[in-house]
Amino acid sequence: MIERNSVGHASRQAGIRPELARLPLRTLTPSDAADIYRHPRQQLAKLTARGLLHRPAYGYYIVVPQDRVDQSWQPELEAVAAGIATAAFDPDHAILMGASAARVHGAIPRALAVAVVAVPKQRAPLQLIDRAAIVRFVTRDTDRLDAELIGTTLGPTLVTTPEQTVLDLAHRPELGDADTEVPTAIRTLYRRCDPGRLAELATHQRLRAALDRATAITESP
């Protein structure tokens, strides 16, 4: 289980209650504030207008760090996607995967316009309103995915391991609209992989064909 974030400086911001400041990845929905404010939507809108909350999409809010209040602050896309998925599900069943995982691992340097998150139930893609970007939810058995905790600007979140990411990229390279970066990302991450673990995951998840494609990519000029 992921521990909730410590209250930190955010809890001391006027108008931000500690219960909200320590939610995972600083991300919340009006329902999270229903037991705190009599009219949560109106109160969250006021806090957003004051710069204490950032609204990345309709129905979602992020507690702004104290040192960024009243400034133009925008967390990276992957952190926002993880926060939204965590708020919609829970921290243990929202896992950055595919191109988003590759980006967190440093295998895709450029910023992307699509974030990919593995979740346990089907959910429609979400258009963000703070940037021209989309969060794409992929239904997976999240308990079977090989993932690790990695820090983001919003806090730690689950991200698929290099081994899992290589297999996912080779299996569905089109998911993150980063097709041209996928071969390089696979080569970069493949070098970090444990061959035994890679083969084990491919067998258990029936991704042997994906492993073969990934291997072929790494061996190509």
Q: Beta-carbon neighbour count of residue 130 at 10 Å?
A: 15
pLDDT tier for residue 65 given thresholds of 50, 70 and 90: confident
Task: Give the pLDDT of residue 12.
Answer: 41
Would you say how long the chain is, in residues?
221
Confidence at residue 16, expressed as pLDDT on a 0 to 100 scale: 83
Q: Which of 57, 165, 45, 179 is nearest to 102 (CA)?
A: 165
Token pair 């600007």: residue: 153
pLDDT, mean over the chain: 91
Cβ count within 10 A of residue 56? 24
Determine which of 7-11, 130-134, 188-192 has the lowest per-residue pLDDT on average: 7-11
> Which residue in the block uniquely carries the two structure tokens 């444990």?
194
Q: Choose the weakest-confidence range: 2-16, 128-142, 186-200.
A: 2-16
Segment 45-57 shows an average pLDDT of 94
Mean local confidence (pLDDT), 5-34: 74
Mean pLDDT value across residues 142-149: 97
SS3 of residue 59 by DSSP? coil
pTM: 0.90
pLDDT, tens only, 113-124: 999 999 999 999
Query: What is the pLDDT averaged over residues 206-219?
Result: 97
How would you classify the pairing of strands 155-160 and 95-96? Answer: parallel
- Give me the pLDDT at residue 70, please: 65
Can you give the residue ranges of every domain in the chain? 9-68, 80-219
How many CB atoms lie under 10 A from the CB of residue 150?
17
Phi, psi of 150 (to 5 degrees): -135, 140
Residue 182 per-residue DSSP state: H
> What is the model's pLDDT at position 14?
54
Return d(Cα 118, Cα 116) in angstroms, integer: 7
Fold of 9-68: Arc Repressor Mutant, subunit A (1.10.10)
Specify the fold of 80-219. Beta Polymerase; domain 2 (3.30.460)
